Structure 1
Amino acid sequence: MYAIIATGGKQYRVCEGDTLLVEKLAVEPGEVVEIDQVLAVEKDGELRVGSPVVEGARVILKAVRHGRGPKIIVFKYKPKKNYRRKKGHRQPFTEVIVEKIEA
């Protein structure tokens, strides 16, 4: 059994017990999050696709920790003009475990 969910502007294919890194959620570690943006659910070989979401389906996630991803360097320059800008960025994330898929 798997589901395709949408959270943080991205889509994920999840099964029960999976660990994901999703865009930062406003929850404390240890709290439970309910995702009702379920785009598709596969159960016993039968695929249910929503338009746009599957009615009555939800996925229960448990937040494990918050963190920040690897540093990305943004470097801009213009040749022969002595224009250089260097900036770094680390994207925040929340690590979650998929506890239950309800269809």
Structure 2
Amino acid sequence: MYAIIDFGGKQYKVEEGQTLITEKVNGVEAGSEFVFDKVIFFKNDAETKVGKPFIEGGKVTAEVVEHGKDRKIKILKFKGRKNFRKRKGHRQLYTELKIKTIEA
């Protein structure tokens, strides 16, 4: 059984028990529950549901495992013969979620 959800402008395929890493979700503490209500597609052995654009009454419940920062990405800009060098780094914030239940 799996579902496709829309969250943060992206679509994710989720299954029960799966760990999902998304962009940081503000206002949610680690250990609490988070509900995705924009379910686009649902499939199990017996039935298939497709939303137009979302399934009515469909929801995916997840537990917030942790918030954190991803590894650093280094950005280097360089122009030859002009003595121009620019360094920059970025660490993306993320939220790790564990999918508990899928309802359609």
Q: TM-score, normalised by structure 1?
A: 0.92
Q: Where does the alignment leave 5 or more consecutive residues of structure 2 unmatched?
A: none
* Contact 1:7–1:23 (Cα < 8 Å) also in 2: no
1:39 alignment counterpart: 40
2:86 alignment counterpart: 85
Structure 1 stretches of 4+ moved >6 Å: none
Matched positions, count: 103
2:53 alignment counterpart: 52
Shift of 1:65: 0.5
Q: Where does the alignment leave 5 or more consecutive residues of structure 1 unmatched?
A: none
Shift of 1:52: 1.7
Q: List per-residue Cα deviations over 1:45-75 (Å, max 9, x = no partner).
A: 4321212211110100110101111111111
2:22 alignment counterpart: 22
Q: TM-score, normalised by structure 2?
A: 0.91
Amino acid at match of 1:66: H
Identity %: 49
